[in-house]
Amino acid sequence: MPVVDAAWEEWLSSNVARGCSPDSMVDAMVQAGFATDAARAAVHRTFGQDPAKAANPAFAAAAATEAALAKAAPRTYQYDDPPVARGNLIRAHDRDVRVLMRCERPQVIVFGDVLSPDECAEMIERSRHRLKRSTTVNPDTGKEDVIRNRTSEGIWYQRGEDTFIERMDRRIASLMNWPVENGEGLQILHYGTTGEYRPHFDYFPPDQPGSAVHTAQGGQRVATLVIYLNDVADGGETIFPEAGISVAARQGGAVYFRYMNAQRQLDPLTLHGGAPVLGGDKWIMTKWMRERAYG
């Protein structure tokens, strides 16, 4: 039987912060293997409530009214200012990066020339022989599974692994205007023809028990930068189906998107995917930023 460890504490407090109802949280914990009483006690403690009081019918009625009101007027995502600098040209550590497009809802920015053609070629050559089939996070267990909705191969680089990787990490952190220490290591992905990554969120959905394992260190993911390392002959765009945005893969260019605001709300409009590659292949490099220092 699971215990309420640091990862579950993080899961409990992030769900309370985003306005989940106590009942839905108890249900999720019971599904994950907790005894109902233990789940209720943990949830009510996180809400700052006494479980004995919660069992009182008057309290239960008040809580039900509150839950119904919350459902009728769900808290919509509040767009606050993204950290990325304003302007058409951004000095990012050692390079000037051009801004090609900005979208406010969801917060998406397309950049040109984040990496030079030589830097893209170097990243691909370093990675070509070290690729492994990509995985996705199983929402129930938090474990990495190889599944059909992500047909690519990948490799991770440790942050600051050598001087070249460190320069990339610093440039990207400067462009995203977020501490380099909050970044996960760079990930390189390769898709062959027909390869795709079906629409998903890069944040760990707080209502899925498996997410707690991933947010225990560094907290939630807040923003992503996907950098294209080659021109894709046909297809392979990064798509945002809820927003109707499609970004073409152009060597050295990148797409930034931000999904967590200062109130820790998460933006569902950032649902995104990698469209099927219809001709040639596709190489990308991804940086995910966390709320706090990671690793």
The CA-based angle 242-246-248, given to 5 degrees, is 160
How distant, in Å, are the alpha carbons of 29, 41, 58 from that of 37? 11, 6, 20
Give the total of residues touching ligand PD2 (CB under 6 A): 10
d(CA 154, CA 136): 12
Give the total of residues touching Zn ion (CB under 5 A): 1
Cβ nearer to ligand PD2, comparing 15 with 208: 208
Instruction: State which of residues 15, 208, 238, 251 lies at the interface with ligand PD2 (CB under 6 A).
Output: 238
Q: Quick one: tokens of 11?
A: 């899961």
In whole angstroms, the minimum distance from the beta carbon of 286 to ligand PD2 comes to 4
In whole angstroms, the minimum distance from the beta carbon of 196 to ligand PD2 comes to 8
Asked if 257 is part of the footprint of ligand PD2 (rule: CB under 6 A), the reply reads no
What is the x/- site pattern for ligand PD2, positions 180-219, by CB under 6 A? Answer: ---------x-------x----x-----------------
290 makes contact, choosing from Zn ion, ligand PD2, none, with CB < 5 to 8 Å by partner type, with none
d(CA 211, CA 9): 12
In whole angstroms, the minimum distance from the beta carbon of 227 to ligand PD2 comes to 10
In whole angstroms, the minimum distance from the beta carbon of 202 to Zn ion comes to 4
Instruction: State which of residues 168, 266, 284, 285 lies at the interface with ligand PD2 (CB under 6 A).
Output: 284
Q: Quick one: tokens of 121?
A: 């070629």
Long-range contacts of 27-35 (CB under 8 A, 24+ apart): 28/207, 28/208, 28/209, 29/209, 31/140, 31/209, 32/2, 32/140, 32/209, 33/1, 33/2, 34/1, 34/2, 35/1
Considering only the stretches 106-114, 153-161, 186-194, 201-209, report the one whose residues sit in contact with Zn ion under the rule CB under 5 A.
201-209
Cβ nearer to ligand PD2, comparing 82 with 195: 195
d(CA 239, CA 241): 6
Instruction: State which of residues 42, 226, 227, 277 lies at the interface with ligand PD2 (CB under 6 A).
Output: 226
Asked if 202 is part of the footprint of Zn ion (rule: CB under 5 A), the reply reads yes
d(CA 186, CA 203): 16
Q: Which residues contact 7 (CB under 8 A, 6 or more apart)?
A: 212, 213, 215, 216
Return the H-helix or E-strand segment holding 71. helix 57-72
Asked if 113 is part of the footprint of ligand PD2 (rule: CB under 6 A), the reply reads no
In whole angstroms, the minimum distance from the beta carbon of 247 to ligand PD2 comes to 8
Q: Quick one: tokens of 105?
A: 């809802």
Asked if 274 is part of the footprint of ligand PD2 (rule: CB under 6 A), the reply reads yes
Cβ nearer to Zn ion, comparing 9 with 202: 202
Q: Which residue is nearest to Zn ion (CB)?
A: 202
- Do 8 and 39 contact (CB within 8 A), yes or no? no
Instruction: State which of residues 15, 46, 265, 286 lies at the interface with ligand PD2 (CB under 6 A).
Output: 286
Considering only the stretches 79-87, 116-124, 177-185, 267-275, report the one whose residues sit in contact with ligand PD2 under the rule CB under 6 A.
267-275
Sheet holding 107-112, edge to edge: 89-92, 95-103, 107-112, 254-258, 221-228, 282-290, 187-191, 153-156, 132-133
What residues make contact with Zn ion under the rule CB under 5 A?
Answer: 202
